[in-house]
Amino acid sequence: MKFKSQQFGYWFFASAMLLLVLQVLYGFIMGFAHMGYDNLHEWIPFNTARAVHTNLLVVWLLLGFMGSAYYIIPEEADREIYWPKLVMPQLISFLLVGVVAVGGYHVNWWEGRKFLEIPRPLDWLVVANVLLFLANVGMTIWNGKRFTTTSIVLYLGLLFAALLYLPGMIAFDNQTLDSFYRWWVVHLWVEGVWELIMGGMLCFLLIKLTGIDREVLEKWLYIIVGLTFLSGILGTGHHYYYIGTPSYWLWIGGVFSALEPVAFLGMAIYAIAVARKGERKHPNRIALQWTVGSAIVAFVGAGFLGLAHTLPQVNLWTHGTLVTAMHGHMAFWGAYAMINFAIIAYALPQMTGRKLWDQPSAMLAFWCSNIGMICMTGAFAVAGITQVNLERRMGLDFLRVQEELHVHFFGLILAACLFALGIGFFILNFIRHGTPNTEAIGMDVDGSISDEGEFATS
């Protein structure tokens, strides 16, 4: 790690871990409710648990992205953060907004649109906060010594994510139009601009961990994010099949969203090929494992499982069932949770100077969480397909079918325990690294490769 201000990333990552723990806790509440044990209903009804679960997810992922930007951008721009004094206030105010929002969900204060439950006044605070973040990072790039594709792609992703939040704030009396613009946020985030962020982070990690020529990697980065937008923008149509919008969306959405997996496949092939070709091995193998793992699991969860229900002929039956939850879990995990874990696994030793990458807990974290998530996806899949067949195709009553699904939610909870164990190991490892210290500044902790593939000394 070269610059002092890169260490700010640590506090973002640490906050993200805390929110992740809470997210998983609320996940368990919902899992039990689905199984028939809604004992907390009086205090935390299902809709509260759900809003907390998904909002904490989005907030901790965003914290991870911000932390990554504060870590990556100085290194790419070859200078300190432009306004270092503003970083911690930005983090703290962001967290405060989050705490107020989550508290509000427990007292029925929200906006009631899935994923965008934050009440309007808090929306504005989020916007102001993110503008501050973007200004700080943007000034760092602008005044930097180097202008790299990796930092531009990462920054464009963050900037567009902020801009696309705005259409979600327009209010309509017509439910159909409300829904139409809700997807400008939800879909165009995860299947558009967040992929730029992921691509930028992936590229940075591959450069650092394999020593492969930056020019080659960045060229492919452009192609991959190009494919993302080519398919993903009109692919939004796969949410416009059945909400009261014109029927031409059926074929536009069908065709273009069916192309979306290509970008994820490209990302997976790119990561695997680069990891195998990399001549100089960075000793932090676990960071590379998370990096490549992220690209692969994203392809399976988003690409393959997305494709499974994206054609209108299939979606007519699966729309709004647990099949969607199956896909949502693995896609978010692979694409966005794992890439954050990758950067944390890489950056923590750099920020603290401690090399804990060979610890068994680091390995266990990877395998428990991933196997756990694969099994959770399986449980959701069995529950979802059963629901589709019994309720949507045979016409059985909703609640009656849900009772048949209790057993699959028992399976979900077992799998979730394994998953949570993996998260526990990861956090244990995180804590063992201690906090950033000044000795780590100015040296590359692995002592083997520097940015351009040359050996550095440490």
Partner 1 sequence: MLSKRQARAFFLGGTFVFSAAFVGLTIDTHRHVPKQTNAHLITPEVVAGKKIWEDNNCMGCHTLFGEGAYYAPELTKTVERRGKAWLRIFLKDPEKMYPGRRKMVNYHFTDEEIEHVIAFFEWAGQVDLNGFPADPPLRDALAATSGVEYPEPLPLPVPAILETAACTGCHRVAGQGGDAGALIGAPPLDGVHLRKTRDELIQWISDPQAIKPGTAMPDLVPSVISDAQVIEIVDYLYSPAN
Binding to ligand HEC (CB under 6 A): which residues in 10-49?
A: 45-47
* Binding window for Fe ion (CB under 5 A); candidates: 124-132, 186-194, 286-294, 329-337: 186-194
Cα separation of the two ends of the chain? 11
**Single-letter residue type at 303:** G
d(CA 402, CA 129): 41
Distance CA 50, CA 23 (A): 9
CA distance 54 to 19: 11
Interaction residues for ligand HEM, span 24-63 (CB under 6 A): 24, 27-28, 30-31, 34, 50, 53-54, 57
Of residues 232 through 251, those in contact with ligand HEM by CB under 6 A are 238-239
Nearest-angstrom CA–CA distance, 422 and 25: 14
Alpha carbon of 276 to those of 211, 271, 452: distances in Å? 12, 9, 18
- Pairwise CA distance, residues 149 & 152, whole Å: 5
Q: Which two tokens stand for residue 371?
A: 């196997």
Binding string, residues 399-428; x marks residues near ligand HEC by CB under 6 A: x-----------------------------
CB of 165 to ligand HEC, least distance (A): 25
Question: Exactly one of 53, 79, 187, 319 binds Fe ion (CB under 5 A); which one?
Answer: 187
Among 123, 260, 444, 451, binds ligand HEM (CB under 6 A): 260
In degrees, rounded to 5, the angle at the alpha carbon of residue 332 between the alpha carbons of residues 328 and 333 is: 115
For ligand HEM, the nearest residue by Cβ is 306
Taking the CA of residue 162 as centre, how many other CA atoms within 13 Å lie in the half-sphere pointing to its CB?
19
DSSP string, 228-288: HHHHHHHHGGGGSSSSSS-THHHHHHHHHHHHHHHHHHHHHHHHHHHHHH-SSPPS-HHHH
Among 39, 103, 114, 146, binds ligand HEM (CB under 6 A): 114
Q: Of these partners, partner 1, ligand HEM, ligand HEC, none, which one is at the site of residue 215 (CB under 5 to 8 Å by kind)? A: partner 1
CB of 137 to Fe ion, least distance (A): 27
320 binds ligand HEM, rule: CB under 6 A: yes
The count of chain residues that interact with ligand HEC, using the rule CB under 6 A, is: 4
Q: Give the nearer residue to partner 1 in terms of CB position, either 107 or 279.
A: 107
Q: Minimal distance in Å, beta carbon 190 to Fe ion?
A: 7
Q: Where are the alpha helices (DSSP H) in 166-244?
A: 175-188, 194-210, 214-235
From 62-70, 143-151, 273-281, 323-331, span contacting ligand HEM (CB under 6 A)? 323-331
Cβ of 138: how many Cβ atoms within 10 Å?
A: 16
The contact set with ligand HEM (CB under 6 A) reads 24, 27-28, 30-31, 34, 50, 53-54, 57, 114-115, 186, 190-191, 238-239, 257, 260-261, 298, 302-303, 306-307, 309-310, 315, 319-320, 324-325, 327-329, 331-333, 335, 337, 412, 416, 419-420
The contact set with ligand HEC (CB under 6 A) reads 45-47, 399
